[in-house]
Copies of this chain bind each other. A is one copy, B any other.
Amino acid sequence: MRAALDAAREAAQAGEVPVGAVVMHEGKAIATAANAPRRLHDPTAHAEILAIREAARILGHERLEDCDLWVTLEPCAMCAGAIAHARIARLFYGASDPKGGAVEHGPRFFGQPTCHHRPEIYSGIGEAEAGALLRDFFRKRRT
């Protein structure tokens, strides 16, 4: 989660909502990404999507069955869907997101009958730091 928080800080410095993600495979971080939809002109460029795509490219397979995803914020519906499609084994996330999250809020996607893979889920890891980064970012943007 340390590397994911570092990526989130990089996102903030680039003017993006500070979220970072890391895909781990056999104990190694194989893909780390910062949220970047503005910089990349890509509405799908959330940290999770970028890290999953990079890991799948590296492993040469569209399924990441032996991989874990660490992300600083509760994934949205788009990212939760991608996590299921990728068959991610375990999901670790930091701050919860009542406004846009899709794990413990809104669609609660992994509990839906249309969800075909549910990772093990661990939340609240690095929550204080992840949440502080987000609050700080939005406070600065409002002023």
Please give the residue numbers on chain A whose beta carbons come within 8 Å of chain B beta carbons, in ascending order: 37-38, 40-45, 49, 52-53, 56-57, 59-64, 76-82, 84-87, 98-102, 105-109, 112-116
Contacts and interface: CB of A to CB of B under 8 A. Distances in A.
Nearest to A102: B114
> Majority SS of interface residues in chain A?
loop
B113 A106 contact: yes
B41 A62 contact: yes
A52 B63 contact: no
Contacts of A52: 43-44
B114 A101 contact: yes
A37 B106 CA distance: 27
6 tightest Cβ-Cβ pairs between the two chains A and B: A78-B81, A106-B114, A107-B107, A77-B81, A43-B86, A43-B85
Contacts of A108: 107
Given A37-B62, A44-B53, A102-B114, 10 more contacts: A38-B62, A42-B57, A44-B86, A76-B114, A77-B80, A78-B84, A79-B81, A80-B81, A101-B114, A107-B114
25 contacts: A37-B85, A41-B56, A41-B62, A42-B53, A42-B56, A43-B52, A43-B56, A43-B63, A43-B64, A43-B82, A44-B52, A44-B86, A76-B81, A77-B78, A77-B80, A77-B81, A78-B82, A78-B84, A81-B81, A100-B114, A100-B116, A102-B107, A106-B113, A106-B114, A106-B115
